[in-house]
C-alpha cells in the first residue's frame, strides 16, 4: 500500500513558495514576515430569508497587503471556501498585482455557497446582503477595496454588487469603480470576460518568443500543432483553449471537466464542446471524442502543454511524478502544491506560475477601474483623430507615388487596417499583451541573472516581493 500523504494547506503552499524566494533576497529584518502575513480577514455570518426559512451564510474578505490602495481581488462562490483558501488567494493577489505593476494591494473574498443550488433571484438577495456587510466595513469601495469575479461569480454578481454599493452610497460619483468585471452596459470594459484566458494566450506566445525558456521546456517551433490538455472549461479554460486553437493552431487534445475528460488526438473543437456542455451539463458523449470518467487522469496524458484552469491543489505529491507535460501553465490559482512544484522542478518541467499566468484578469480589471474613474471609455477622444491622421498619410503617399510616376499603390487590406482607429477592445488587448510580455521578460531576466533562482515561480516572487518591499520602504517601514 502507498504511504498516505498529507497535503500542505493552500496557505502553507503559497507561504513556502514565498519563503523560498525571500530567502534569496536581502530584505530588511522583519520585512519578510510583514510582507508574508495577511493584514486582516473579516468573517461574516448573515441570514437571508429564502424558501420560507432563514438560511445562514458565511462570507470572507481577506486583505493581504495595503502597500497600495485600493486592494484588489475576486469574490468566489463555492462550498469549498474557507479562511485558509481566501487568505492564500489574497496573498497571491498582492504578488500578482506587484508582478504586473498594478497600483493595488491584494485582497480576496468568498462566500460558502453552492451557486447552483439557488435560483438567480435568491442569489441576488444573498449577494446584495453580502455587499451590505462588506460595505459597512469598507471592504468594498472604489478607493479602498475593489472586488471582481472569481470561481462561481461573473458579470451578473458584479452587477448586483455594484448596484447594491451605489444604493448605499448614492453620493459617490465613483461608485461604478467599486467593483470590476461588470457588464459593459453597467460600466464594464470590453475584453474583461475573455481577459484571463487571453492573458494565458499572450503568456504562451511570449514563451514561444523566448528561445532559452522554450528550450528548457524541451519545446521548439511555434504554438501551431502543440498538444495541449486543459483542465476546466470555465471562463478561463474556455477562452484560453478557444484562442490557442483557433488563433494559434494549437491542438486541444483533451479537456477535463467535472463529469470526466474528453480526448481527441487531432484536437477538439472548443466552441462545439462548450455548446455540448451547455446542452447536456457535461462533456460526456461529445461526438468524435473518447471519454474517460476519471477526469484527473487527463492531467497525466502525454502532451506538450498542460493548462490547469479549474482549482487549487490538483497537482500534488501524489501525482506530480505522473505529469508528462513539459510546460505547465497555471491558469487557475494554486493548482500545484509546494510539494508537487518541487517534484515537477526536479523533473525539469517548466511552470508558468499562477501569479503571472492568470494575471490577465486583474490587469483588465485595472483598465476597467481606470475607465470608471475617468468616466470615459478608452479611445473615445482619440479614435477619429487617429483615423484622420492616418488618412492624411495615405493620401500623401498616394499623391507622391502618382507625382513621381512610381505607380505604387497601397493594398486595400493595408489601407483598411491602417485607416481604422483602435476601439476599446483593441486597446485593452494591446495593454494586456504589453503587460504579459513585460512581466514575462522581467521574470526570465531574474532567473537568467542569478543561478540560485531555480524557476520562473521563484523569479516571479522575487520581482513581486522587491516591488512590495520598495513600497513599504517608501512608507518608512
Ligand atoms: N479573480 C481574479 C484573480 O484571481 C481577478 C481579480 C480581479 O480582477 O480583481 O486574479
Ligand 1 mutation target, pool 10, 89, 196, 309, most atoms within 8 A of CB = 196
Is residue 312 lining ligand 1, measured as CB closer than 6 Å?
A: no
Is residue 339 lining ligand 1, measured as CB closer than 6 Å?
A: no
pLDDT, tens only, 170-213: 999 999 999 999 999 999 999 999 999 999 999 999 999 999 99
Catalytic-role residue among 72, 108, 242, 371: 108
pLDDT, tens only, 327-350: 999 999 999 999 999 999 999 999
Instruction: Give residue 356's pLDDT.
Output: 98
Q: Can you name the residues that pair with 262 across neighbouring β-strands? A: 255, 291
- What totals of helices (H) and strands (E) does the chain contain, helices first? 16, 12
Residue owning the nearest CA to atom 8 of ligand 1? 362
Is residue 180 lining ligand 1, measured as CB closer than 6 Å?
A: yes
Q: Which atom in ligand 1 lies closest to the alpha carbon of residue 358? A: 10
pLDDT, tens only, 274-299: 999 999 999 999 999 999 999 999 99
- Exposed e or buried b for every residue in 23-54, given b needs 16+ CB within 10 A? ebeebeeebbebbbebbebeebebebebeeee
Which comes out higher in pLDDT, residue 7 or 224? 224
pLDDT category, 8, cuts 50, 70, 90? confident
Contact 259, 232 (CB under 8 A): no
Q: Which atom in ligand 1 lies closest to the alpha carbon of residue 89? A: 4
Asked if 96 is an active-site residue, the reply is no
Q: Tell me how far the alpha carbon of residue 49 lies from the centroid of ligand 1, in angstroms.
A: 30
Question: Whose CA is closest to 300, among 361, 231, 369?
Answer: 231
For the CA atoms of 117, 55, 154, 139, what is the dihedral angle to 10 degrees? Answer: -160
245 Cβ contact list (under 8 Å, min separation 6):
228, 251, 252, 267, 268, 269, 270
- What is the DSSP pairing of strand 305-308 with strand 227-231? parallel
- Percentage of the chain surpassing pLDDT 70? 99
pLDDT, tens only, 187-197: 999 999 999 99
Contact 339, 318 (CB under 8 A): no
Amino acid at each position: 500500500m502507498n504511504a498516505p500523504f498529507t497535503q500542505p494547506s493552500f496557505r502553507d503552499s503559497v507561504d513556502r513558495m514565498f519563503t523560498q524566494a525571500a530567502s534569496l533576497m536581502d530584505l530588511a529584518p522583519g520585512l519578510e514576515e510583514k510582507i508574508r502575513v495577511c493584514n486582516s480577514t473579516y468573517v461574516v455570518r448573515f441570514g437571508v430569508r429564502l424558501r420560507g426559512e432563514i438560511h445562514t451564510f458565511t462570507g470572507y474578505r481577506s486583505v493581504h497587503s495595503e502597500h497600495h490602495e485600493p486592494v484588489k481581488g475576486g469574490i468566489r462562490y463555492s462550498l469549498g471556501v474557507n479562511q485558509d483558501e481566501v487568505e492564500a488567494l489574497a496573498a497571491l493577489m498582492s504578488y500578482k498585482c506587484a508582478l504586473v505593476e498594478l497600483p493595488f494591494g491584494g485582497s480576496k473574498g468568498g462566500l460558502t455557497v453552492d451557486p447552483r443550488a439557488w435560483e438567480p433571484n435568491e442569489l441576488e438577495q444573498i449577494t446584495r446582503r453580502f455587499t451590505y456587510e462588506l460595505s459597512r466595513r469598507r471592504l468594498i469601495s472604489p478607493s479602498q477595496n475593489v472586488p471582481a469575479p472569481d470561481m462561481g461569480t461573473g458579470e451578473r454578481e458584479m452587477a448586483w454588487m455594484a448596484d447594491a454599493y451605489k444604493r448605499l452610497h448614492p453620493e459617490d460619483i465613483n461608485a461604478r469603480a467599486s467593483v470590476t468585471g461588470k457588464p459593459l452596459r453597467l460600466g464594464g470594459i470590453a475584453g474583461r470576460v475573455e481577459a484571463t484566458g487571453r492573458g494565458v494566450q499572450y503568456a504562451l506566445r511570449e514563451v514561444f518568443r523566448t528561445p532559452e525558456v522554450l528550450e528548457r521546456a524541451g519545446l521548439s517551433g511555434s504554438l501551431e500543432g502543440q498538444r495541449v490538455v486543459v483542465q476546466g472549461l470555465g471562463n478561463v479554460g474556455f477562452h484560453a483553449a478557444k484562442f490557442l486553437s483557433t488563433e494559434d493552431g494549437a491542438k486541444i487534445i483533451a479537456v477535463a471537466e467535472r463529469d470526466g475528460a474528453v480526448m481527441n488526438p487531432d484536437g477538439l473543437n472548443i466552441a462545439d464542446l462548450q455548446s455540448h456542455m451547455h446542452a447536456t451539463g457535461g462533456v460526456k458523449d461529445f461526438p468524435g471524442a473518447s471519454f474517460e470518467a476519471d477526469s484527473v487522469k487527463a492531467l497525466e496524458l502525454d502532451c506538450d502543454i498542460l493548462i490547469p484552469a479549474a482549482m487549487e491543489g490538483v497537482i500534488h505529491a501524489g501525482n506530480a511524478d505522473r505529469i508528462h507535460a513539459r510546460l505547465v501553465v497555471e491558469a487557475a490559482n494554486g493548482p500545484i502544491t509546494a510539494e508537487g512544484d518541487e517534484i515537477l522542478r526536479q523533473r525539469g518541467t517548466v511552470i508558468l506560475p499562477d501569479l503571472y499566468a492568470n494575471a490577465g484578469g486583474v490587469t483588465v480589471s485595472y483598465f476597467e477601474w481606470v475607465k470608471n474613474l475617468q468616466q470615459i471609455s478608452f479611445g473615445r477622444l482619440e479614435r477619429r483623430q487617429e483615423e484622420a491622421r492616418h488618412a492624411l498619410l495615405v493620401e500623401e503617399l498616394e499623391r507622391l507615388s502618382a507625382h513621381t510616376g512610381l505607380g505604387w499603390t497601397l493594398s486595400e487590406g493595408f489601407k483598411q487596417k491602417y485607416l481604422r482607429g483602435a476601439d476599446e477592445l483593441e486597446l485593452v488587448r494591446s495593454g494586456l499583451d504589453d503587460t504579459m510580455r513585460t512581466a514575462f521578460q522581467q521574470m526570465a531576466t531574474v532567473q537568467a541573472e542569478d543561478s540560485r533562482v531555480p524557476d520562473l515561480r521563484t523569479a516571479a516572487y522575487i520581482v513581486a516581493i522587491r516591488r512590495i518591499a520598495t513600497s513599504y520602504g517608501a512608507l518608512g517601514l
